[in-house]
Amino acid sequence: MGLLTEKKANEDYIIIIGCGRLGANLASTLSDEGRNVLIIDKNKDAFRKLSPSFEGLTVNGDATELDVLQEAQISKASVVIAVTNNDNVNIMVAQIAREMFQIQRVITRLYDPEREYVYHEFDIDTICPAILSAKEIDKILSETGMSKCEFQEEKQ
Amino acid sequence: MKTKVLLVGGRSKAKSLATSLIRKGYRVTVVNDTYEDCLELAEIDGLTVINGDGTKPFVLEDANAGDADIAIALTSKDEDNLVICELCKKRFHVKKTVALVLDPKKTDFFYRMGIDSVVCAITAISGIIEQQAFMDKIATLVPIREGRVSVAEVPISGTAPVVGKKLWEINLPKQVIIGCILRGDTPMVPRGDTRILAGDMLVLISSDKQEMAAIKELTGH
């Protein structure tokens, strides 16, 4: 933890919960950008997904336990990102971070967009892969559609 | 109209709760994500069983959550119980939500998230064991708010050190008051100059585990 205390608290300290593909990727990228990153996962082997250049910290434990979050010094975090593969865990951790530790910036990944309902009033940023993918595919479709139109216009 | 209760998750807990609630005249629906458990639950007369994951809004909709008066989340995962209760409350506007919580440290958090009643099995069971173990000194102990406050009945025997003393002479812990003295059949509200007599039954109201210290002071044990 010495690494963190050297810098001023709250300035730039990102906690990522869940070291899956998304969590590990994000942690590695942010660490490469020179930011303070701590990643939590209950499965120790998950940390192997981190890139060799990852310079942040890892905590092995269940992030739904308050003790584990305290060990990660969550109250000093500027951002908490919940990206485990379990929506309900992400929802609970996000609400704990916001309500118990007053973290202003909380970002969550939810597979099921309908569950966002439960913390709607908390103003937690939610990423939903299905919706993002649909938008992206729709964009590609409309782009190809547009190019068709243009092609036809040119012909006329 | 019958009160409608929705039970989500929990195999044996759901089974015994459903049986008991149906006997008392409630309309009960259970949601369970294991098919085998559902078959077992379906053997209970008059019980509606829905097979599905109760943390999913559409499953709760199938179970008619919007009609329920009380929703009780009994799964073995805290995060699932939280989401079930929050969905019931915010999406389906169930009047009362009850959640089981495994981790006693999360009880507060669950209340803050708007769940009406949080039951922690560990806290409840340790409270009961404590009461059983100290049965000789306490007649009854009623824990309130997860045992943070408790009301205990303490009988005063002839050998107790406080016999004959006035209340203000007793060195009780700060977080404890004697709310009532039962002398024979008459209950009396004590004042500082009330004397404690042998055979009195004291009703003690105390916060946070201070009752043991108080009982020691009163009974000498």
**Residue to test with chain A: of B86, B88, B97, B110, most A Cβ within 10 A:** B86
Average pLDDT value over all residues in chain B: 88
Selection from B159, B138, B170, B156 nearest residue B199 by Cα: B156
SS3 B70: strand
Shortest alpha-carbon distance between residue B111 and chain A (Å): 11
Task: Give the helix/strand (H/E) hosting A13.
Answer: strand A13-17
Tokens representing residue B77 in the block: 């995962």
- Nearest by CB to residue B103, choosing from A65, A100, A118, is A65
pLDDT at A124 over 70: yes
Tell me if B82 and A88 make a contact (CB, 8 A cut-off): yes
Chain B residues lying within 8 Å of A66, measured CB to CB: 103, 105-106
Specify whether B150 is located in the same domain as B177.
yes
Range of the domain at B173: 134-219
C-alpha A73/C-alpha B94 separation (Å) is 36
Tell me if A114 and B58 make a contact (CB, 8 A cut-off): yes
Amino acid at B73: A
How crowded is residue A90: how many other Cβ atoms within 10 Å of its Cβ?
28
- Nearest by CB to residue B86, choosing from A65, A67, A118, is A118
C-alpha A83/C-alpha A117 separation (Å) is 18
- Nearest by CB to residue B79, choosing from A66, A67, A88, is A88
ipTM field: 0.81
Shortest alpha-carbon distance between residue B68 and chain A (Å): 18
Chain B residues lying within 8 Å of A91, measured CB to CB: 79, 82-83, 86
Specify whether B10 is located in the same domain as B109.
yes
Does residue B31 belong to any structural domain of this protein?
Answer: yes
Residue that is last in its domain, among B65, B89, B123: B123
Selection from A52, A71, A58, A53 nearest residue A23 by Cα: A58
Does residue B128 belong to any structural domain of this protein?
Answer: no
Selection from A91, A99, A80 nearest residue A15 by Cα: A80
Specify whether B150 is located in the same domain as B101.
no
Tokens representing residue A86 in the block: 């379990």
Does residue B58 belong to any structural domain of this protein?
Answer: yes
CATH number at residue B59: 3.40.50.720
Q: What's residue A150's pLDDT?
A: 52
Specify whether B103 is located in the same domain as B146.
no
CATH number at residue B190: 3.30.70.1450
Does residue B71 belong to any structural domain of this protein?
Answer: yes
Specify whether B26 is located in the same domain as B117.
yes
C-alpha A93/C-alpha A108 separation (Å) is 9
C-alpha B107/C-alpha B60 separation (Å) is 24
Specify whether B141 is located in the same domain as B113.
no
The dihedral through the CA atoms of B43, B45, B47, B48 has a sign that is: positive
SS3 A53: coil
Q: What is the pLDDT of residues B185-208, one digit of tens each?
A: 888 898 888 888 888 888 888 886
C-alpha B31/C-alpha B10 separation (Å) is 9
Tell me if A91 and B82 make a contact (CB, 8 A cut-off): yes
Backbone angles phi, psi at A133, to 5 degrees: -65, -45
How crowded is residue A7: how many other Cβ atoms within 10 Å of its Cβ?
12
Tell me if chain A has a CB within 8 Å of the CB of B91.
yes
pLDDT at A155 over 50: no
Which strands, in side-by-side order, build the sheet including B186-188?
B141-144, B149-155, B201-207, B176-183, B186-188
pLDDT at A9 over 50: no
Does residue B160 belong to any structural domain of this protein?
Answer: yes
Residue that is last in its domain, among B123, B143, B161: B123
Specify whether B187 is located in the same domain as B80.
no
Give the chain A residue nearest B80 (alpha carbons): A88
Tell me if B90 and A117 make a contact (CB, 8 A cut-off): yes
Residue that is last in its domain, among B123, B145, B178: B123
Tokens representing residue A65 in the block: 């336990």
How crowded is residue A11: how many other Cβ atoms within 10 Å of its Cβ?
9
Does residue B129 belong to any structural domain of this protein?
Answer: no
Specify whether B118 is located in the same domain as B141.
no
Tokens representing residue B112 in the block: 């803050």
Looking at domain A2-129, its CATH class is alpha beta
Tell me if A92 and B83 make a contact (CB, 8 A cut-off): yes
Query: With contact defined as beta carbons under 8 Å apart, do A80 and A105 qualify?
Result: yes
| pLDDT tier at B220, thresholds 50, 70, 90 | confident
The pLDDT > 70 percentage for chain B reads: 95
C-alpha B103/C-alpha B119 separation (Å) is 10
| pLDDT tier at B137, thresholds 50, 70, 90 | low
Chain A residues lying within 8 Å of B81, measured CB to CB: none
